[in-house]
Amino acid sequence: MSSVNQNVKESTQSATTPAILRAGYVRALTKLIVYILIYALVMAAIQWLMLNVIPVLKPYQIYLNVGLTLIFGYLIVVAFADTIYHFMRIKYPHDVARAFRNVFLLIGIGALITAIAGAIGGGLAGVSVGGFLGIVIGFATQQVMGQAVAGVFLLIIRAFRINDHVNIVGEEGIVEDVGILFTTLKKMDGTTKVLIPSSSIIGNKIYLLPPVQPQQQQQKQ
């Protein structure tokens, strides 16, 4: 009887899991839309106040706009990244969805900083400053973004999994963690860990070795 109840409980959980994931996606998307609408309404209200009620503060409008853009922009970027996470979570496991979220979060924050720099400069100066800052950010984060994109591909294709016995870029060990930037291998001596950059793994051969038996690992230690 208990086994029947357990089977019913497991089937119920498996049936409700997709619904829970979709509900999370709907909540994240709703939050994103709400933040965008609030930001648009607040900016419109400030514009109207500056023109009709307190025009004396008109010269300071740009600073107020920048402050609001910074606050709401960050909230919108985070909400957008969360929306991406919940959308990907419907089809992919948590680590893959989290990788996508982090990549979009980095891109969004970089775009937000560039946009604010352009708004402060204003006109052609703003375009120049924003473009220059975008180039600087691009060069500064090029390696990190390359690592992140490579990590996302590794998580999607699932070339290896945690606890697999592998040989990657000449390093043999047990996969302990597969992250966005690094894959962590635990060496056969059981005491040393190696962090291998994701971009290095994408460009090299991956050897999937037979599972290590406990007695074999003890002998190597």
Q: Which domains does the chain have, with CATH numbers?
A: 2-140 (no CATH), 165-220 (2.30.30.60)
Query: From CA 120, how far away is CA 69, in angstroms rounded?
Result: 11
Tell me which residue of 144, 104, 111 sits closest to 130, measured CA to CA.
111
Tell me: the pLDDT tens digits for 6-60? 444 444 444 447 788 888 888 999 999 999 999 989 888 888 877 777 777 677 7
pLDDT-derived band at 84 (thresholds 50, 70, 90) equals: confident
- CA dist 79 → 9, 105, 126, 145 (Å): 33, 9, 27, 20
pTM for this one? Answer: 0.59
3-class DSSP assignment, residue 211: coil
Tell me: the pLDDT tens digits for 113-138? 777 776 665 544 444 545 555 555 55
Sequence-separated (6 or more) residues with CB below 8 Å from residue 101: 81, 82, 84, 85, 88
Helix 94-121 with 142-157: angle, nearest 10 deg: 150
Tell me which residue of 111, 108, 86 sits closest to 96, measured CA to CA.
86
Look at residue 126 in the predicted model and tell me its pLDDT: 47
Rg (C-alpha) for the chain, rounded Å, is 25
3-class DSSP assignment, residue 196: strand
Give the residue-averaged pLDDT of 202-218.
73
**CB count in 10 Å sphere of residue 36:** 15
Over pLDDT 70: what percentage of the chain?
74
Tell me: the pLDDT tens digits for 56-78? 767 777 778 788 888 888 999 99
